[in-house]
Amino acid sequence: MIAIGSDHNGFEMKEQLKKWFDANGIKWTDEGNTALDKDDDYPVYAKAVADAVSSGRADRGVLICGTGIGMMICANRTSGVRAVNSTDEFSVMRSRLHNDANVICLGASVVSLETAERLIDVFLNTKFEGGRHQRRLDMIDG
């Protein structure tokens, strides 16, 4: 299950990504914003997605705002969440292989829908390597 959320800047991309999830058989839950509201606050949606991932209600999360940066900062305040912001497939792949990232934060003003789909595909289909990387995650969490 993927928890997805956005503020007003990422709302249109989020709605398109939900269609892409459906077309690819990916189960999702929308943690908001559920209507375009330009007076919304991104931390509300970042926290909702981070809580879904942290609690185990969702396996991974996708957050979208203008740049992805605010969402990433907010999501990383939640225990057990390792959120990344990236615009390229290599960094997303490494974030999964080495850091076991469980939330990806995207900027609708920075990446196209097609790029977002490619990044999410890499994010969902790259497995964590474990080993020495797990030892390092344990150091972060310890």
Residue in 8, 74, 98, 133 annotated catalytic: 98
Residue 65 bears catalytic tag:
yes
- What element of type H or E holds 6? strand 2-6
- What element of type H or E holds 63? strand 60-65
Distance linking the first and last C-alpha atoms of the chain:
27
Residue in 65, 74, 105, 133 annotated catalytic: 65
C-alpha 61 chain-centroid distance: 4
CA distances from 81 to 8, 40, 60, 99 (A): 23, 23, 9, 11
Residue 74 bears catalytic tag:
no
Catalytic residues: 65, 98
